[in-house]
Structure 1
């Protein structure tokens, strides 16, 4: 006998599983299978149908047919024996004998057919042997997958070790520059903590205390006793220089390998005169420094509207010299009725309500002086603003993905408010997994593609009245529109929603007011289009 093909087809003639065993064109096999429903009879459990060229040996399986296509010279008894073997194999691999169940286990059934029939001839095997042979192949596949997973895990471990070495190298470098671990703690975060719960009055020295949560204020700073000499650790050379050099060299090799793979690496440049690292604020140079910072949390809907709009602001004070601590700060709070202010518990609330002046309840106690390298200061005033009005949003993003044929066209447009000049704007758009970078056809600004994380960064250095709107258009392979969300946005601005300004610093002991400077900044903490 010679079995040309074995198939499972529906009664309408649709081939669900088909395995060809001899050299015959696909069109020929499809033609033979398509002709079978017109030749089959009804009311028989299993039988055969002959044509001029081939013989159909079949058996009904519920709403399907198990079919063998053989030549007319084959032994009908052997054909029926082969058919019985296949009919026992089908329920072993497909518990659900319908179209959906057969399609789900199509590959397993084809592998079983291959073990039962070889080159058109029936193998002398049983159902148990066929299952055993298939399981042995599956075992080899599992072993291969285990080896591959082991290699992946080993690579991840190497990456973790390299990342740990880079972090340790940076910590060692910071220790050498700042003078030890304590200085690193105080300078490690340039963020102003908006919580006042960490500050308290010291029973002995008076004034503000600190639990070390981003404030870095000495508890003894209100004492009239002079400060002791600073520790010599700040001037001591860094320890373990040889170890640092070795770690730095390995870190540089790792960064070079990332660059070779197409990863963009931002170099950690040593600060020079008049410049500082972006992660650490500039150290104060004036006797009194006041920092006004607002953090923006916004969630915009992709179809328009605002899900969340929250602004949290802080006014903090830093004093370099103890003799300048007996002061009061006069401010302007703007005319925004949606901004709610709250002073620190040690601030004279009545003085602030009547005169917009921030001073301690006890005017005889000075404000604390800051430590060297501590740029966060002491929080005096905080405020909050919430709204659901889309008109107050400084930057709106509209994303329009559309599938056309074998491509997806994505158009993104930004519109900025005339109130703010936005700096260092970066719009991050997630993309589907791509083999090649997206085809950017038009852009206002610059773009960068990250192949590892599969996202596109759209960068605009400055958005002001000259470019309040801009667009980006790119093309990728077909993808679901939801893939391009959420879109993340980050930027900074020199103007705030509260419009808080420091008007003057008033000395309480007489004499000329100390020189002061103020820093104002609006930053994004979480800004998304979902």
Structure 2
């Protein structure tokens, strides 16, 4: 597409909008405009082909609209111009080559803060290597000093050079880049198993008082335990407002990080939900038969080892839901016109997967620009986000003891369709597919390990 064509599409958009119209889409013969008000006289606009998926387009637009206030706090035209480069960078993370990237608001915030999960892992690995190098240096320095003293006692004066302080030891021990402190050799484990190398060094951060980052917590965990196992699930759900499941998919993976040589052949025994609708897939270098028979993830070739200080994926799984009962959290939104130009909206949730605990739950209901919701009874709290025109219902914890909740509000509009799509976000450290690490085994003996688990909603909508 040429620049002139794009400028023509943008200049046509204001002419196509009809004042007072409640829709957030408008079409021409060639394209569709999906838009959402941001600030006064300012819109977020997504231009797509007419045959594109409208649900995905609205999801992408919602992510764009949520990202802009994270960068532009004041919402003025000058603010947009001042932060144009950062906005373009964020848009490029969301849409690349005309296609939506697999990214959510949490990941986007991490990118904006330059504090991504990959950087944290890399920081942990680098800090572990530095710590090991310093310990090795101290050990060799102590050994060298003992040898020098023993030689002096034996009357051998010229056997060792004099040490004029720690700085003169450089030639005796070699620099940090010498063989004493070189990177560990690549394991005989298949290179396909190793993660992709990072293209840049991790960012250096200054001291921050009173704040313990997730990276620091994970570093502490890795320092405490030689074996660390992490499970990560991503969930995508689209439910029809009238009932019925449009789409549900969960993808998960289990990764292993080992930090000491004597544990680099460790096996992991896990428990997981046995269901025909869940497909488990082990890495080619993992013994599939042993996993199917006993739930043990171990190397097929016992002469191989896992690479050190690197997250290694050993198991993946995929679940496709077939009914609305399979979604972890069901949402019912019931808007009804009152006959006086207003709507009364009742919305409720119920936890279907009672083994899960959801934290920091936010259920976002879109509202029309200029409308003011009046909230009545509510379980939890709420926030009216004017920058995104959403009523955000906030629940701190949903679990088996707090399975249900409701909220109702009144708003001055009669457009029943304006309250959709309802979006859901949450944090959770419990696996939907109930994947649990039971034991870490090295040389036929149980060893201590640490584990972490999380599930991330990539998209969760009632449309």
TM-score (structure 2 length as normaliser): 0.57
Equivalent residues in 2 for 1:53-68 (5 A)? none
Matched with 1:453 is: 388
Alpha-carbon distance in 2 for matches of 1:278, 1:432: 40
Indicate how the Cα distance of structure 1 residues 432 and 187 shifts in structure 2: closer, same or farther if over 3 A, else same: farther
Q: Deviations over 1:62-105 (max 9, x none)?
A: xxxxxxxxxxxxxxxxxxxxxxxxxxxxxxxxxxxxxxxxxx9x
Secondary structure of 2:84's match?
helix
Contact 1:271/1:277 (<8 A) preserved:
no
TM-score (structure 1 length as normaliser): 0.51
Contact 1:186/1:216 (<8 A) preserved:
no
Contact 2:239/2:246 (<8 A) preserved:
yes
1:331 lines up with 2:270 in the alignment: yes
Indicate how the Cα distance of structure 1 residues 287 and 529 shifts in structure 2: closer, same or farther if over 3 A, else same: same
1:399 lines up with 2:336 in the alignment: no
Equivalent residues in 2 for 1:315-354 (5 A)? 315-354=254-293
Unaligned runs of 5+ in 2: 1-17, 19-40, 42-74, 91-109, 125-184
Matched with 2:55 is: none
Secondary structure of 1:467's match?
coil
Equivalent residues in 2 for 1:286-297 (5 A)? 286-297=225-236
Query: Offset of 1:451 from its aligned partner?
Result: 0.8
Indicate how the Cα distance of structure 1 residues 324 and 211 shifts in structure 2: closer, same or farther if over 3 A, else same: closer
1:431 lines up with 2:399 in the alignment: no
1:498 lines up with 2:433 in the alignment: yes
Alpha-carbon distance in 1 for matches of 2:307, 2:394: 41
Matched with 2:14 is: none
Matched with 1:10 is: none
Matched with 2:171 is: none
Indicate how the Cα distance of structure 1 residues 501 and 172 shifts in structure 2: closer, same or farther if over 3 A, else same: closer
Secondary structure of 2:396's match?
strand
Indicate how the Cα distance of structure 1 residues 497 and 338 shifts in structure 2: closer, same or farther if over 3 A, else same: farther
Q: Which has the higher mean CA deviation after the structures are superposed, 461-470 or 305-314?
A: 461-470
Which of 206, 213, 218 aligns to 2:188? It is 206
Query: Offset of 1:490 from its aligned partner?
Result: 1.4
Matched with 2:397 is: 462
Indicate how the Cα distance of structure 1 residues 173 and 211 shifts in structure 2: closer, same or farther if over 3 A, else same: farther
Matched with 1:276 is: 213
Contact 1:209/1:217 (<8 A) preserved:
no
Equivalent residues in 2 for 1:225-374 (5 A)? 270=208, 272=210, 275-277=212-214, 284=222, 285-370=224-309
1:518 lines up with 2:451 in the alignment: yes
Q: Deviations over 1:124-179 (max 9, x none)?
A: xxxxxxxxxxxxxxxxxxxxx9xxxxx9765531242686999xxx999969x99x
Indicate how the Cα distance of structure 1 residues 333 and 322 shifts in structure 2: closer, same or farther if over 3 A, else same: same
Indicate how the Cα distance of structure 1 residues 407 and 271 shifts in structure 2: closer, same or farther if over 3 A, else same: farther
Report which of the two structures shows the higher radius of gyration computed on alpha carbons.
1
Q: Deviations over 1:167-224 (max 9, x none)?
A: xxx999969x99xxx9579469xxxxxxxxxxxxxx9742143698xx4679xxxxxx
Contact 1:299/1:308 (<8 A) preserved:
yes
Alpha-carbon distance in 2 for matches of 1:383, 1:316: 12
Contact 2:120/2:215 (<8 A) preserved:
no
Alpha-carbon distance in 1 for matches of 2:452, 2:76: 48
Question: Which structure carries more relative contact order (alpha carbon 8 Å, separation 6+)?
Answer: 2
Aligned residues: 307
Indicate how the Cα distance of structure 1 residues 451 and 211 shifts in structure 2: closer, same or farther if over 3 A, else same: farther
Contact 1:217/1:378 (<8 A) preserved:
no
Matched with 1:257 is: none
Secondary structure of 1:297's match?
strand
Secondary structure of 2:191's match?
coil
Query: Offset of 1:521 from its aligned partner?
Result: 2.7
Alpha-carbon distance in 1 for matches of 2:420, 2:113: 38
Indicate how the Cα distance of structure 1 residues 157 and 479 shifts in structure 2: closer, same or farther if over 3 A, else same: farther
Matched with 1:528 is: 461
Alpha-carbon distance in 1 for matches of 2:378, 2:384: 14
Which of 401, 408, 433 aligns to 1:473? It is 408
Query: Offset of 1:278 from its aligned partner?
Result: 9.0
Which of 130, 153, 158 aligns to 2:82? It is 158
Alpha-carbon distance in 1 for matches of 2:121, 2:87: 21
Indicate how the Cα distance of structure 1 residues 464 and 337 shifts in structure 2: closer, same or farther if over 3 A, else same: same
Secondary structure of 2:325's match?
helix
Query: Offset of 1:237 from its aligned partner?
Result: 7.8
Q: Deviations over 1:356-396 (max 9, x none)?
A: 2211222112111115xxxxx21100111112222222211
Alpha-carbon distance in 2 for matches of 1:479, 1:415: 27
Unaligned runs of 5+ in 1: 1-103, 105-144, 146-150, 189-202, 219-232, 242-268, 372-376
Indicate how the Cα distance of structure 1 residues 172 and 429 shifts in structure 2: closer, same or farther if over 3 A, else same: closer
Runs of 4+ aligned structure 1 residues displaced above 6 Å come to 162-166, 170-175
Alpha-carbon distance in 2 for matches of 1:318, 1:484: 45
Contact 1:425/1:490 (<8 A) preserved:
yes
